[in-house]
Structure 1
């Protein structure tokens, strides 16, 4: 059959009409406008990775931000519903943690039975049909999670989170949530007649929660492989009469071959027989979308398909609304999909000067739902805890030893020495591993830590350390320290000696895996290939990016034992650093890394966060490389002493470009 989409396309921007979107002319989607008598248009809408960002407000910088906020996403939901004869709204996880409002509710305010969390109050105004869990739902513990989710006026599904040991048949698992939901909905067809349809929704969480939140889940929960669970449950959904099956996958898109308990398994999940469409998330990216997805077999980032099936990933923090439009046709066997479109519709755009322009205004109902908690959070984050003698910023954290990472390491070292003082590890030398969390990248040109000299408030500490990780320490050898740094050095692309303006940063490597280890000194040789792959497996045995690694002014003894203080994510195997796993852990703290920083600042009263330059790049004469950072980085160029950095003009998407002279 010829596609309805052969008709002239609808201009999406015209549907929004800038900030006056609520009064804009609404045009029906072609599927609704031109469906035949035995056809119907079903629009499925996704929010994902909201991370408590109800308001278009950045609590870390304490100012409004037009790139975020469920209150903005909610405004386009109203318009998008109006474009379709039939629609359903789902959430794809990671709603409970991610900004200071989440921490305020968990650590200050708390949740009593019957209380409503502000993000749930906001979501309850929008008419969700179903949601699934993200990995960050578990950060504050199971009791907190259940108290919050119990306040939702819509159900949650998750097919791969079990209460106990896994059994041979996944359908016999004792699950915390229903694995799926079948919604019986009456939909209007092209002739205006109403006909019933059964729509199945099945949810999945990354199995890695058992590593990332082991302190909250050990002995209480277990996870099953996403694809394995889907292959067991989808046939059950079909047997119960589901006409179509929609996967809610809080899991990203990875082109690697399938592996057991794969973190980003959505591509392979889409290949499961019986799944008709897939909503993805977790990676904080947009699909269909830019070149991020180029070269991934069976993923079409233009059409928006995984294994030929419609798929979408709707950014993060409310930046986009994911849309899958299905043209359904009824025959003797029920409904089937005969055409589709996929889209991630944004709440903002950038003008020619890269300035952010809001496309929609706040939705009043959402703002009112969380207003009291928003104001309480502002008071919470503005509370001073000490002072800093110098500014704390992360603009150059990926290319030079950095004050924002330095202060985290100082606080961790101060803490762990106290904690191990009366233990068998008290005489081992202490090193500290810390990474920059806000370093641009997918977060955008304003996504950097920037704390001026003077008072430090809780919002500034939260800005330094985004996640409620807890302190852990591992006991490892000097050789394992070196391999830890070799893995971290995958942050950089290989640079040929004598080359000019090579792209320096590996955009696929997340900044939170770029660990700097304090207590040793070292150089990174960019002319060498990476030693380990993304899974921590040795791929270049002769490669040694880490050069001149020294402890106490001497070459490190590869057999010497060290205590390295880090967080529960890394110590539990997060990032797949070679040989860094739970069996190396010698200390598990009850305190979060962020609380330790607050206590350190309070104890010191005034901190001096200047970087000590313990790492740098090995010189490569005649060689330069380029990288992007926030435009405000230019004012700190003179502060960087360990490397030579030059202003290289304007970058892309609001970033500035800089040149590293090697």
Structure 2
């Protein structure tokens, strides 16, 4: 493949050891770049929530793929792209061990795997800056981040590092190459973890940082690899959350390692996006990869580097995301075995976590399922909302807010991130692992003061999760717009309202106000229409109250209570005290005047719970492990 103009212009000259002898062809080096991202502490192929093996997750599975990938290539480097330390009960257990000595177990595993470099993701900060810095001290490889710094302007991490490696060329000669590694994280960490980071760190625009540091790094290295804990958005502006495409367009970048979006690239997810070749695996012509989440894939970029007597340049490349499992007839089938060495390394924390999450905390009298959230049947959300109100009410007594109506907002988490990611609990004992499954994030409980007008906008923004339904269509219509994550579909308990899905969404998937439209109708409190000036206290989580999800009126300035405990702690306390799950449904669909059939995807196991959802029926259509369900809107 001819060298592109971008590659010829990018960077400055870089000399290498082992120049070609007279009469010998210019040397070429085959360099394999390997990536993990969004592991979220799924170190082993184990499901702590259901106490069983899980073939769809695990760094231990990735370790086997890494071993195989290294055996296939003479030269290979391994990187991690962030969101490593939080996301599973193992991560929660390690974070709760105050004063524990020794390296963090995931870094013990990664040191064994010989990682070369890494960058932090946004979830690295969930347990606080002090915990993160103690954990990073155990990493036997460098961390970099070009757009995060101390609040006083000092360095938090180096913006980049140069890895000097002796690589073998196609003639068997050792060539010394300087691989520059630079890292980026979403600036939204200052919103999402405001309570941990305000006054301690600053996080700026990723693209601006890239424009500043890439030329500096390019002048000192032969090949430049960007670790971007970010996804792809062709419309990205300043301070964008997903800016990999814009960073790839900066001259001097040779390869992009992506993450954050929990998607797989190359692949169909970004097909048709301007500047993206979803089949070949490029952004602005630069090879790129994104390896899913929880250890589902290993990202691989193969570069053929040619030396022209002056510098190294990318001559050819190939990208792929190698899976650890496949779906066959709706079931997950393992494609690789786990590396037993990883299990041995983390065995003490793994066994302690299993004992911890099995601790009984209470009982439930009715089933808890999350299969039917999209049609308003959500006992899991009802439990969390009841727990949040029970926790906050005594803390608001004696304050200027105690006489205001107390509401609670919660979004669903376990509603099909994978076909196995749902809540399905029969009446009976509850353990800590069940609560961790219900509320997987370490958000702290927060209460905000809002007006009726702000409450309506909050719900309008949440309703963007639904596609617009044509009331005159005769064919079934898909209901859910998967561009909006489920954790942005807030349901607010304590009020009653209807959602008119035949109306266009007022807000787009990114939370931008797009049109003068209204989906929220019949919004009432105590049976009466809500006055726009009426005030309420809404219990929510720190992520939402500080601006996560870009909900109007929620930017951290109207917080009236910032509790010391997490939302998960509130649920645990509620169950320990014998709290019961309310049989309530805050919202329903507005009548459309005729029968309209909508469809959504849920787990095949939902079919055994159809008695809880009248007018719902399973179809025979299987979609990547999901089953499609039809529901009639009368």
Distance 1:255 1:611 in 2: 44
Q: Classify the secondary structure of the residue corresponding to 2:551.
A: coil
Structure 1 residue 467, shift from structure 2 partner: 0.1
CA distance in 2, matches of 1:63, 1:392: 20
In 1: Cα distance, 2:331 partner to 2:612 partner: 27
Which one of 470, 485, 490 corresponds to residue 464 of structure 2?
490
Q: CA RMSD in A?
A: 1.4
2:609 to 625, 629, 636: 636
Q: Report matched runs for 1:365-404 at 5 Å.
A: 365-404=341-380
Aligned with 1:247: secondary structure?
A: strand
Equivalence for 1:194? 174
TM-aligned CA deviation for residue 195 of structure 1? 1.1
Report how far residue 609 of structure 1 moved: 2.2
Aligned to 1:524: 499
1:114-129 correspondence to structure 2 within 5 Å: 114-129=101-116
Q: Which moved more, 1:56-65 or 1:512-521?
A: 56-65
Partner of 2:37: 48
- Residue in 2 that maps onto 1:613: 585
* Contact 1:91 1:131 survives alignment (8 Å): yes
> Which consecutive unaligned segments of at least 5 residues does structure 1 have?
4-34, 166-172
2:57 corresponds to which of 68, 74, 98: 68
Give the alignment of 1:137-286 within 5 angstroms.
137-164=124-151, 173-239=153-219, 241-256=220-235, 258-286=236-264
Residue 329 of structure 1 pairs with residue 317 of structure 2: no
User: What residue number does 1:435 align with?
Assistant: 411
For the 8 Å contact 1:494–1:527, the answer to whether it is kept is yes
TM-score, normalising length from structure 1? Answer: 0.90
Question: Are 1:103 and 2:92 an aligned pair?
Answer: yes
Contact 1:111 1:147 in 2 (8 A): no
1: distance between equivalents of 2:520 and 2:419? 29
Separation in 2 of the partners of 1:615 and 1:238?
55
SS at match of 1:582: coil
Report how far residue 415 of structure 1 moved: 1.1
> What's the offset of the Cα at 1:331?
1.3
Instruction: Within 5 Å, give how 1:317-466 maps onto structure 2.
Output: 317-351=294-328, 353-440=329-416, 443-466=417-440
Which segments of 5 or more consecutive residues in structure 2 lack a partner in the other structure?
A: 4-23
Residue by residue, what CA displacement relative to the aligned partner does 1:539-563 show, whole Å, maximum 9, x if unpaired?
A: 221x111111111001111110011
Is the Cα–Cα contact under 8 Å of residues 111 and 117 in structure 1 kept in the other structure? Answer: no
Secondary structure in 1 matching 2:257 = strand
Specify the SS of the correspondent of 1:398: helix
- 1:490 & 1:127 partners in 2: Cα distance? 44
* Cα deviation digits, residues 75-98 of structure 1 (max 9, x gap): 011110111111000000111100
How many residues matched? 611
Instruction: State the alpha-carbon separation in 2 of the partners of residues 65 and 625 from structure 1.
Output: 32
Q: 1:588 maps to which residue?
A: 562
Distance 2:621 2:108 in 1: 42
SS of corresponding position for 2:374: coil
Q: Name the CA distance, whole Å, in 1 between partners of 2:610 and 2:472.
A: 24
In structure 1, C-alpha distance between the alignment counterparts of 2:252 and 2:44, rounded to whole Å: 38
| Gap change, CA 1:182 and 1:581, over 3 Å in 2 | same
Partner SS, residue 601 of structure 1: helix
Asked if the contact 1:398–1:436 (Cα under 8 Å) also holds between the matched residues in 2, the reply is no
2:45 and 2:56 map into 1 onto residues whose CA distance is: 7
